[in-house]
C-alpha cells in the first residue's frame, strides 16, 4: 500500500510543526509549506530522523497561485494528496479603534484567504480521485468574541461560514471529500511572542492552555474522522451552550474579565518583531513559553469531542430540560 501524503501549511513552528510530527507517526509523508524556509528545513530534518519523507516548499499562503502550484508539485514529487491541513495564520491584537485597515486586511489574507487558498488547491487535486480530507482551524467557542481579537475572530468566522457552504456542495457533487474544523482552545505556541500586539503588554493564553501536541493529535484524528468538527476538552462544549443560552451575560463577563485575561502584568519592553507581514527570523519549535501551565496529551482533562458526540450531549440536555419543564407544568396544574 503506497504511503499517504499530507500537506501542512504553517509547518515551520507551532501547531503546524507538531501536526507534521503527528501525521508522520501516523504513516504519512509530509509536504511542508510556510514562509520561513529555515524552520521548514528544521521540521524536515526532524521528520527524516523518523524515516518520514518530506518536501519543503517556502511560500506565503496568501498567494493563491503559489499554493496552487505547490499542490501540483506535491502531486508530482511526493504523490497523491489525501490530507491537507491549513495551520498557517497571523493576526493583530488590540482594540478595534486602534487597528489599521491594512493590518486587518493582512490578517484576513493570511488566516482566512490563506486557508481558502489551501482548500481550493486541495479540492483541485482531490477531486481527480473523489476523496480526501481538508482540515481547517477554528477558535474554540470559549475564545470566540474575545475582546482585542476582532481580526482573528473575523477571519475564523468567515472560514467557518465558507466551510459550512462547501460541505453541501461536496455532497451534491457526490465527492467523498471531508471538510473538518478543529476547534482549538489556547495552545502553547511561540505565536504569543510574535503576534502584532497593540496592547503595550505581553500576551498570554486565555483559559485552559494545551501543548501543541494536543492540537496535533486533534488534527490527526480529524484526518480520519467522519465528524464535521472536533473540539478539545469540556470547556468548549459548555462555552457553546452558554453562548446560545445567555449571550448578553457572556459579553458582559468578557467586557469585565477579557482584557486582563489576555495580558501579563508587565509592560512589553518596546516594540517587538511580529509576523504579520513577514516571518520573524530565528529558530522556533512547536512549544511556546507556557509549559508550566499547559495540559499535555496524558492529562485527564485532555479529551477530544467530535461534533456528533457534542450534538448528542446537547440533545440529551435539551430533552432533560423539556422533561423537567413538562413535569413542572403538570405539577402546577394539579395544585
Q: How far apart are CA 131 and CA 77, in angstroms?
A: 20
pLDDT of residue 286: 94
Q: How far apart are CA 9 and CA 3, in angstroms?
A: 20
Q: How distant, in Å, are the alpha carbons of 142, 153, 297 from that of 138?
A: 11, 9, 20
Q: Which of 206, 208, 212, 204 shows the shortest CA–CA distance to 188? A: 212
Q: Is 100 exposed, middle or buried (0-12, 13-18, 19+ CB in 10 A)?
A: exposed
Name the residue range of residue 223's domain.
Answer: 4-333
Q: Which of 310, 307, 292, 94 shows the shortest CA–CA distance to 209? A: 292
Contact criterion met (CB below 8 Å) for 74 and 55: yes
Q: How far apart are CA 244 and CA 305, in angstroms?
A: 18
Grid cell, residue 303, equals 479529551
Q: How far apart are CA 191 and CA 137, in angstroms?
A: 15
Please tell me the pTM assigned to this model: 0.89
Phi, psi of 26 (to 5 degrees): -80, 0
pLDDT of residue 207: 86
Task: Please report, for the domain that includes residue 323, its CATH number.
Answer: 3.40.50.720
> What total number of domains does the chain contain?
1
Q: How far apart are CA 39 and CA 12, in angstroms?
A: 5
DSSP SS3 for 227:
coil
Q: What is the CA radius of gyration of the chain?
A: 21
84 CB-side CA count, 13 A = 28
Cα distance from N-terminal residue to C-terminal residue, the chain: 71
Length of the chain counted residue by residue: 335
The one-digit pLDDT tens for each residue of the chain (335 residues) are 467 999 999 999 999 999 999 999 999 999 999 999 999 999 999 999 999 999 999 999 999 999 999 999 999 999 999 999 999 999 999 999 999 999 999 999 999 999 999 999 999 999 999 999 999 999 998 899 999 999 999 999 999 999 999 999 999 999 999 999 999 999 999 999 999 999 999 999 998 999 999 999 999 999 999 999 999 987 665 665 556 666 678 889 889 999 999 999 888 777 789 999 999 999 999 999 999 889 999 998 898 887 655 555 555 555 566 676 677 677 776 66
pLDDT of residue 1: 47
Grid cell, residue 74, equals 506535491
- Cα dihedral 270→276→282→285 (10° resolution): 110
Amino acid at each position: 500500500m503506497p504511503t499517504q501524503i499530507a500537506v501542512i501549511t504553517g509547518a515551520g513552528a507551532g501547531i503546524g510543526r507538531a501536526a507534521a510530527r503527528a501525521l508522520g507517526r501516523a504513516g504519512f509523508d509530509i509536504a511542508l509549506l510556510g514562509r520561513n524556509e529555515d524552520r521548514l528545513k528544521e521540521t524536515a530534518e526532524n521528520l527524516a530522523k523518523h524515516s518520514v519523507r518530506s518536501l519543503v516548499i517556502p511560500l506565503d499562503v496568501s498567494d493563491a497561485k503559489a499554493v496552487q502550484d505547490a499542490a501540483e508539485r506535491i502531486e508530482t514529487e511526493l504523490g497523491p494528496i489525501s490530507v491537507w491541513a491549513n495551520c498557517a495564520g497571523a493576526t493583530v491584537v488590540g482594540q478595534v479603534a486602534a487597528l489599521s485597515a491594512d493590518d486587518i486586511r493582512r490578517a484576513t489574507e493570511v488566516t482566512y484567504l490563506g486557508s481558502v487558498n489551501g482548500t481550493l488547491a486541495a479540492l483541485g487535486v482531490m477531486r481527480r480521485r473523489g476523496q480526501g480530507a481538508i482540515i481547517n482551524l477554528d477558535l474554540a467557542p470559549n475564545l470566540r468574541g474575545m475582546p482585542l481579537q476582532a481580526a482573528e475572530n473575523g477571519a475564523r468566522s468567515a472560514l467557518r461560514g465558507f466551510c459550512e457552504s462547501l460541505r453541501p456542495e461536496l455532497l451534491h457533487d457526490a465527492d467523498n471529500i471531508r471538510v473538518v474544523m478543529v476547534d482549538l482552545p489556547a495552545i502553547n505556541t511561540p505565536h504569543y511572542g510574535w503576534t502584532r500586539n497593540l496592547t503595550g503588554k505581553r500576551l498570554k493564553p486565555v483559559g485552559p492552555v494545551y501543548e501543541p501536541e494536543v492540537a496535533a493529535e486533534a488534527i490527526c484524528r480529524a484526518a480520519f474522522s467522519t465528524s464535521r468538527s472536533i473540539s478539545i476538552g469540556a470547556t468548549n462544549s459548555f462555552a457553546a451552550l452558554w453562548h446560545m443560552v445567555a449571550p448578553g451575560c457572556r459579553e458582559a463577563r468578557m467586557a469585565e474579565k477579557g482584557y486582563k485575561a489576555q495580558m501579563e502584568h508587565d509592560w512589553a519592553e518596546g516594540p517587538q518583531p511580529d509576523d504579520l507581514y513577514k516571518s520573524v527570523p530565528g529558530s522556533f519549535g512547536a512549544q511556546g513559553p507556557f509549559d508550566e501551565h499547559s495540559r499535555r496529551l496524558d492529562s485527564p482533562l485532555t479529551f477530544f469531542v467530535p461534533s456528533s458526540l457534542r450534538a448528542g450531549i446537547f440533545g440529551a440536555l435539551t430533552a432533560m430540560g423539556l422533561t423537567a419543564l413538562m413535569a413542572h407544568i403538570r405539577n402546577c396544574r394539579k395544585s
